[in-house]
Amino acid sequence: MRGLTFEEVRDTVVGASVLGCGGGGELAEGLELVERARDEGLSFRLAGLDELPDDAILACAYAVGAMTMDADDERYIGLPLAERHPTVLAVETLCEHTGSRLAGMIPGELGATSVAEAFYPAAAFGLPVIDADPAGRAVPEMQHSTFFLEGLPIAPQAVVNEFGETLLLLKVLDDRRSEALVRALAIASRNAVWVADHALPAGRLRTATIPGTVSLALRVGQALRAAHERGEDLGDAVAVAGGGRVLFTGVIAKASWKDADGFTYGEFTVAGEHAHTGHDLRVWFKNENLMAWRDKRPVVTVPDLICVIDEETHVPVTNPNAREGMRVTVLAIPAPQQWLEPVALDVFSPRTFGFDLDYRPFSAWSADG
């Protein structure tokens, strides 16, 4: 277990935003939340699961909803906001119900706010963040989780919205049903709720998470910052740190999106520049970037990561913020091994999202020309 400086936490949030594949929340919101923790005098710690005894109780905190919140919806005008952040209220409610004394917090996925929403309650309760998560990227739905693959119970769940309204789900059939129920609560709460669940012993979580993902986010964030400071190529630096490669560079020529059923759906097309002149890359997302086609041929598919960096601002592009005229670098990073098993691909692959296509690693698609 070690303490983290604020700069390290900031780099982690930025790196998690890259690995969030366009999802996992807005970068500005994630940075604001860890800045809030710093300004409140809170400290940050990181611990590996192997550092904790088997009976140490951990919990997972994250948000559920679309990538946008409709500030103009008249249903919410005038409603008072909670005095404390919903992620803290969710963790507190879960602990009160279970009687658990937590030893650490696990991020629900990688992404700017997804990681920040673990760091903030962890710091508020004097706990470390665990260097692992159940996704290794950001994912659209709650069953897209190694917890689900390992059959861990998701309930009880504490669910809190920005107004402080709090619900406890004491029993659900499985993670897919939890996704349906919690998503409905998000739709009724300006497209966002905060959840705390999986209050379980470290011994049960040890083999049900992807280890080292928070440290990976830190390395990616540090690589991006160092490349920016030195004037080096951002895409190459992030590709090396993340173990992937630059897939495409160019200017966004078209972009569109919509909110539906508690998700943000859309796509954008990049017109190639430099080595990619004369080609185009189309990316489709459901909250997260999930599919990419070069010249109408698939080149990267879920569960592999499709990550986008704005070459002018030097920050990750989160959905639905791709804009026409934006110059970007698109990277492909291999999915964690846990997602490549047949049982995992039944849960999280192109066919999961309605595409008549089997998963192949992006290196295999590229080999086809």
164 and 61 in a common domain: yes
Strands lying side by side in the sheet with 327-333: 297-301, 288-294, 280-286, 263-272, 245-260, 327-333, 305-310, 315-316
Are residues 201 and 260 part of one domain?
A: no
* Domain residue limits at 347: 235-367
42 inside domain = yes
Which helix (H) or strand (E) is 120 found in, with range?
A: helix 112-124
pLDDT at position 73 is 74
Do residues 132 and 190 share a domain?
A: yes
Say which CATH number the domain at 357 has. Answer: 2.40.390
Check whether residue 182 and residue 113 sit in a common domain.
yes
Residue 336 lies in a domain: yes
216 located within any domain: no
Say if residues 216 and 15 touch (Cβ distance below 8 Å): yes
Instruction: Give pLDDT, residue 72.
Output: 63
Residue 227 lies in a domain: no
Distance separating alpha carbons of residues 227 and 88, to the nearest angstrom: 35
In a domain, 137, yes or no: yes
pLDDT at 365: 81
Mean pLDDT by 10 residues, the chain (369 residues): 96 98 95 96 97 96 84 78 95 96 97 96 97 98 97 97 96 97 94 96 96 98 96 94 96 96 95 95 98 96 98 95 96 97 97 96 74
Read off the amino acid at residue 104: G
Considering the domain boundaries, does residue 228 fall inside one?
no
Token pair of 97 as six digits: 């119900």
Q: What is the pTM of this model?
A: 0.95
CA distance 18 to 21: 6
Count: domains in the chain: 2
Tens-digit pLDDT profile for residues 3-32: 999 999 999 999 999 999 999 999 999 999
Question: Pairing relation of β-strands 315-316 and 210-211?
Answer: unpaired
Q: Assess if residue 351 is contained within a domain.
A: yes
Nearest Cα residue to 299 out of 321, 282, 319, 317: 282
Question: If you search the block for the tokens 């689900």, which residue do you land on?
Answer: 148
Are 67 and 195 part of one and the same domain? yes
Q: How far apart are CA 129 and CA 301, in angstroms?
A: 30
117 and 256 inside one domain: no
Look up the CATH number of the domain holding residue 51.
3.40.1610.10
Let me know whether 146 and 31 are in one domain.
yes
Same domain for 170 and 69: yes
316 inside domain: yes
Between vectors from CA 273 to CA 270 and to CA 276, what angle results, nearest 5°?
85
Residue 111: closest CA among 29, 39, 48: 29
In this structure, are residues 22 and 333 in contact, taking their beta carbons and an 8 Å threshold? Answer: no
Whether residue 200 is found in the same domain as residue 247? no
User: Domain check: are 258 and 341 in the same one?
Assistant: yes
pLDDT tens, position by position, 102-123: 999 999 999 999 999 999 999 9
Of the three residues 173, 196, 211, the one that is the final residue of a domain is: 211
Residues 313 and 184 in one domain: no
Query: Residue 80's CB: how many other CB atoms inside 10 A?
Result: 8
Q: Which of 178, 211, 244 is the last residue of a domain?
A: 211
Co-location of 266 and 157 in the same domain? no
- CA 288, CA 133: separation in Å to the nearest integer? 17
Tokens of 5: 């400086």
